[in-house]
Structures are given as C-alpha cells and as structure tokens.
Structure 1
C-alpha cells in the first residue's frame, strides 16, 4: 500500500492520528522536500515518528518514482507531503503511476495554506485563481501569473499568491557542466514578490490619465495581506496597500515561508476590521477600504 500523507503546516505534531498510524506501520518513509517546508527538520520528524526518513528531492520524485514505488504492492510505503497531499500536481502524478502499476493507495489529508489562508479573515469562497510567483533573473521575467491576478480583480475576487522556494537548485553553470553542486536554499519574501509585481505593473502602466480599472492594480489603492509561517505559533500577518508593503523591511514580515493575498472588491466591513488589526497604517487601511473598495458599515 502506498500512503500519501499530509503533514500540515507547522511541526511534527501536526500530522493526523491516521497519518501517524500509517507512518509507524510503514516499511519505508519518504519526505517530499521541494514544494514546501515544515518549521522543523527531518531529525525531529524521525524522533517523533520512530522511523528513518528518506528525503525525496525533485529529481527522485519526478524521475525515480519507480524506486519509491518498489514493492509497494507487498510493503507499506509512506510518502509525506508538507500541507495537503494535493497541494502540488507532482503528487497526483505519483498516484497515477501507482495506479498504472496496480498498487493500492490511500490519501490522508491535512491542512494546507489553501485553507489556512482563511486566518486573515477574508471569506474563502471569494478567492479566485491561486498564483505562484517565481524568482526573476536577469534574463527571465515570467508574467503569465499576472494575468490570472487581473482576471480575479475583474471579478472582484481575492488572489492568494504563493512565493517561490529554491531547494537543492543548481546554478546555470553547474547545470551546464553536469556538476552536482547545489545553491543554498532560497525562500522568496513578500518584499521581493511585491517588488517584482510592481516592476511588471510599471511596464504596463497606462499612458492616459483615465481612472484605472480594477485589474490595473494601482499600488497606492490595492490592498494586500501578507502571511508568514501560517499555521505555526510564530505566524505573522501584515496588511496594507501594495505600496505600503513594498516600503517595509524584510524583518517586518517574519520568517519564511511567505505568501500574500491581493484583496478583491468582494470585501466587507467584517473582513476590513478583521484584517485591520495588522495594518501598516490603520487610518489609510480604512480610507482605501471605504473610499476605493466601497466597504460600508
């Protein structure tokens, strides 16, 4: 049996009882270690679960899945995922491979950022498409995700922005030379993500003085809420306009992992007041909420 087990968002104790029972009964345990991270290391997991853990990087999961699934028709194999198992399409692919090999599997769900984002106080049913923001390079500035944000804005929907992480990545030079030398882990911060967003908006800024449409995402009148280490006791939220968030030091947002929400026009007084508790400038938060978003008490 293959068990695909969500670990939740914080530490080793966030695993469900069903998940823990499956792990303890498994012959091999893998930890997927590239789509997200927990707030604790592998050693803490091993001590709590009483099992040795094999760290599965991107190469192993995507190109060596046969090794993960080996003998899973007669042995119990656990594949651990931070958050919920279906937070990344890679894990659906692993189940398709198991299905093709006639290997039975069980999915054990857990909390993920996709539902824990409700902690900022915005109604989950008013979220649109979630986007992932990648690190820009000197030669690569992908912007397809921005159109998804604009589509949400046109519909008045909130956008959850997930920020890039780089774990066990090679530089272009080392990759070209076939050298297995890996760069230090990098986790995108809210200031970096907002800076990249604003740079794209500046490139697309209208040349007229007409009032911008919602999808223009005017930095001084578009509200956003940052989330760091959501689900952990050290979680931290900051709310304000995109412009206000862009001017804060990185330390103001707390430790990784970071994400943020761009607030859509389906925004109500209760949500305004809930998120105002973390506002950079409470007076401006209320001014933009009421004057631009049309929130009424």
Structure 2
C-alpha cells in the first residue's frame, strides 16, 4: 500500500492519529521536502515523535525515483509525508495517478493546509477565487501571469490567496555543467518581496488597472500559519513592502474590493 499523509502546518504534533498509526506500521517513510516545510519541527524532531527514520524526498528523488518507490509499495507499506494536505500541490495528484497506473493500492490521509487555514485572517473562505503562485523573479525572467488571475478575482469581488515561492536544494547554474552538483542556500519569499513584484506589475500596467487595484488597495500578510508564532498584518500594498513578518513560511492575500461587515470587523485587529 502507498500512503500519502498530510502533516498539517505547525509542528510534528499536527499529524492526525490515523496518519501517525499508519507511519508506525510502514516499512519506509519518505518526507517530501520541496513544495513546503513544516514550520516548527526539524527532521530529528519528526523522527523522534513518529518513532521511525525518515527519508528526505527532494524534487530530484521524487521525479526520477518515483517508479522505484511505487514498486516497493507493491510488496510493503510505504508512506509519503506531505506538509499541509496531500492535494495542496499538483505534484501529489500526479503521484496518485502514477500509483493507479502501476496498480498500486493508494490511500490519502488529509490534514489542514493554507488553503483552508487562511480563514484565520477572518476573510471568509467561500469569498476566495482562484489561488495563485508568485515565483521569484530574476533579471531575465519576470513572469506576471499570476497578476491576471488576481485582477480576475478582484473584478469578481473575490479574494486571492497568493502562495509564495520557496527554493530548496536548487542547483547553481555553474553546477548544471558539472558532474558534481552544488546547491544554492534555501530561500523563502516574504510578503514584502511578493508585494514588490505586484507593485512593479501594477506600475507597468497602470493605465489598464488603476481603477481596479492600486497601491492603496488592502492586502493581508500571513506568516507561519498554524504555529505558535503565527502573525497576520493587514495594510495597503504600498505599506506591505515595508512589513517584516519574520521567518518563513509567508502567504499574501489580496482581498476583493468589497468586504463583508464581519470580515471588516475581524481584520481590524490586524491593521497597522
């Protein structure tokens, strides 16, 4: 059996009892490490709490070795641990499809993810539109398709949850031409970095979108949701550029232009 188990958002204790029972009976347990991180628990703490050795599964291992993992699952129980909920990333949907192709039995154990925990901001979940991902820009690569989705949601009076880029075990450009790979230090996008990019797109498209979304529009920054150090700030986009919410993980919400009175009231406690 191949199990994909959600770990939740905070620390090792956020796992469900069902998920923990499965982990403790599995022959091998993989910890996916490239779509997100568990905020308050490191590898050793997880291993001590779960009572087993964890095999760190980076993008390279999963993309190149998934067939080997699924072959193992034909003969024994294998667990694949995912921060948040297993269906929070398309990568894990693909794993389930691959398992079905190989006729490997598969079971999913759900948990909390940022997609529903964002409700801690007071913004009502049924008022959210399409979720977007904001990637890190480089000097030569500045994709802005995420902005079109933000505008589309805004026009329909819907909120937009922005998932911010993380870079874990990314190879350096130089190492791509070498046999021995070298990796860049881990990097996690902050709400201020994400807002800078949004404002840059706004500036370049000002004539088209100034009446819909502008630097004075409301934004909500969230950090380490689900942990004891959770932090939320509500302010304008121009103010968010200067906000420091501390360590990862961060998320950003661009609320729709019209808030429900309960949303307005709840957000007051987070206003700068």
Partner of 1:57: 58
The corresponding residue for 1:290 is: none
Query: Is 1:190 matched up with 2:191?
Result: yes
Q: Cα offset for 1:71?
A: 2.5
Aligned 1:19-168 pairs, distance under 5 A: 19-39=19-39, 40-168=41-169
Tell me the CA shift for residue 259 of structure 1.
0.5
Question: In 2, distance between residues paired with 1:244 and 1:85?
Answer: 34
Equivalent of 1:257, from 234, 245, 249? 249
Task: Find the residue that maps to 2:206 and give its secondary structure.
Answer: coil
The SS at the match of 1:174 is helix
**Cα deviation, residue 155, structure 1:** 0.2
Does residue 1:218 correspond to 2:214, yes or no? yes
1:198-242 Cα distance to aligned partner (Å, 9 max, x none): 1111111118xxx9432xx2111x101100000111100000110
Q: How far, CA to CA, are the matches of 1:69 and 1:230 in structure 2?
A: 32
The question of whether the paired residues in 2 share the 8 Å contact of 1:62 and 1:90 is answered with no
Q: Any unmatched runs of 5+ in structure 1?
A: 281-297
Tell me the residue number matched to 1:14: 14
2:171 aligned residue:
170
SS of corresponding position for 1:192: helix
TM-fit CA distance, 1:178: 4.5
Bigger CA radius of gyration? 1
* Runs of 4+ that moved beyond 4 A: none
In structure 2, distance between residues paired with 1:137 and 1:171: 14
| Distance in 2, Cα, partners of 1:247 & 1:117 | 22
Task: Report the Cα distance in structure 1 between the residues aligned to 2:237 and 2:118, rounded to whole angstroms.
Answer: 18
State the match for 2:225 in structure 1: 230
Whole-Å separation in 2 of the counterparts to 1:19 and 1:186: 29
TM-score normalised according to structure 1 size: 0.89
Bigger shift: residues 142-151 or 258-267: 258-267
Please say if residues 126 and 266 of structure 1, whose CA atoms lie closer than 8 Å, have aligned partners that are also in contact. no
What secondary structure is seen at the aligned counterpart in 1 of 2:232?
strand
Work out whether 1:267 is the aligned partner of 2:259: yes
Q: TM-score, normalised by structure 2?
A: 0.97
Q: How many residue pairs get matched?
A: 271
Report how far residue 100 of structure 1 moved.
Answer: 0.9
